Amino acid sequence: MTRVDVPQATRAGADVDEPMTGRYAVAMSSHDLAERLFGPDLEMLRRAPGIPELPVVTTFDDETFARLADVEILVTGWGAPAITADVLERLPRLSTVIHAGGGTDALIASDVRPLLQRSNAGSINAIPVAEYSLAMIMLACRQVFASQRIYRAVRGRVDREQTFPAAGLYGQTVGLVGASRIGRRVIDLLRPFSVNVLLADPYITPEDAFTLGVELVPLEELMSRSDVVSLHPPLNDETRGMIGAQEIALMRDGATLINTARGGIVDLAALQEELLAGRIEAILDVTDPFEPLPADSPLWACENLVLTPHVAGSMGTELRRMGAHVAEELSRALRGQPLEADESPAR
């Protein structure tokens, strides 16, 4: 916990003559994650008169509650302990949660959310997910993954025009499911390329689609017309299992399904059947009901599947971008200013 009352603020974006007041702490899976998120800024967060260390708490217990009894702002990240009504009762001064991740719904209990001002870094984390999606769309359209399999098998010259007559980005049809923050960013990233973009989203109007520059179609039509399908909806009761056997069966032979959203959106058993048959290709950064897949899953040996360990989101150097965003939000909160990524009004 840190008390900040600094006559001359030193944080990024601060006016030097504007004082900052408040008590705050960091809660996430480990001190190491905090270091990777904030880097030198973590040391900056510690610089407060009379407070030798900013605690990074990984669990809520009696000792933690005693240390954070008068905390007002909690900076959270992946692996942070859940904030329930019982927790809030033990932290009576807590008013603001700034989350270094997507939405806070999974972190904060539903009955507590209206009582807290909440901010997240979802728009920041959307950047690498959209970039990863774009990269995979381009590689899939050029049939790069299929070509490297064939090249390794042949170990000789491959006539690319004869072997890959439908490869290339020009004129391909890309289907995006969900006009979420990430989905919209992917649309923006695809603008410079000569591709046809289809969108399936029940909450988007034809006028919205026109503004986005995409063709709005039903999900079934998108699945049947697209050379590459990229999934970007949130996971909820409406979307769980929405890409099932019927939808996958509509995909063209040789088409590619990309999932960087949530594993539960896809019926994995139905997809596995199609992949093992060799009819389509897939790129999965997430899987459900298992992540990672069981060691004996046949999908590990499936050559027409690119399987990555949930790396589409912020990682490595990109964590610092999330940390910078959170530090800016913390600076605003300490000054009583509106948060940029506010999810709800303060209590």
Q: Tell me if 2-123+317-344 shares its fold with 169-307.
A: yes
Check 46, 291, 318, 321 and give the catalytic one.
Answer: 291
Q: Which CATH superfamily is domain 169-307 in?
A: NAD(P)-binding Rossmann-like Domain (3.40.50.720)
Q: Does residue 225 have an active-site annotation?
A: no
What is the pLDDT at residue 343? 83
What per-residue string of b and e applies to 235-246 under the rule 16 or more CB within 10 Å gives b?
eeeebeebbeee
The CA distances from residue 23 to 64, 294, 325, in Å, are 14, 44, 19
Residue with tokens 């589409």: 312
Return the residue matching tokens 């890309």.
174
Q: Which residues contact 303 (CB under 8 A, 6 or more apart)?
A: 149
pLDDT of residue 52: 38
- For residue 80, the model assigns a pLDDT of 94
Mean pLDDT of 100-126: 93
CA 46 – CA 239 distance, rounded (Å): 42
Residue 248 has a CB neighbour count (10 Å cut-off) of: 22
- pLDDT digits 0-9 by tens, 243-285: 999 999 999 999 999 999 999 999 999 999 999 999 999 999 9
76, 13 Cβ separation under 8 angstroms: no
pLDDT digits 0-9 by tens, 224-241: 999 999 999 999 999 999
Q: Is the model's pLDDT at 45 over the cut of 80? A: no
Return mean pLDDT, the chain: 89
Residue 42 confidence (pLDDT) above 90: no
3, 113, 310, 321: which is the annotated catalytic residue?
310
Residues 298-347: tens digit of each pLDDT = 999 999 999 999 999 999 999 999 998 998 898 888 888 999 988 865 43
Q: Does residue 310 carry a catalytic annotation?
A: yes
Determine contact, residues 53/46, Cβ cutoff 8 Å.
yes
Q: pLDDT digit string (tens) for 59-75?
A: 999 999 988 888 999 99
Asked whether residue 145 carries a pLDDT value surpassing 50, the answer given is yes
The answer to whether residue 50 scores a pLDDT higher than 90 is: no
Is the per-residue pLDDT at 48 higher than 70? no
So what's the pLDDT on residue 43? 61
Out of 36, 185, 262, 325, the active site residue is: 262
**Cα separation, 206 vs 312, whole angstroms:** 30
pLDDT score at 1: 39
H/E element holding 88? helix 85-90
Q: Is 71 helix (H, G, I), strand (E, B) or coil?
A: coil
Query: Does position 137 have pLDDT exceeding 60, yes or no?
Result: yes
**Position 133 confidence tier, pLDDT thresholds 50, 70, 90:** very high
The DSSP symbol for 245 reads: H
Average pLDDT over residues 179-198: 98
pLDDT number for residue 38 = 83
- Domain coordinates of the chain in residue numbers? 2-123+317-344, 169-307
Answer yes or no: is pLDDT of 212 > 80: yes
What CATH number should be reported for the domain whose range is 2-123+317-344?
Answer: 3.40.50.720
Point out the least confidently predicted range of 3-17, 76-90, 154-168, 194-208: 3-17
Give the model's pLDDT for residue 286. Answer: 98
Please check the confidence at residue 47 and state whether its pLDDT lies above 90: no
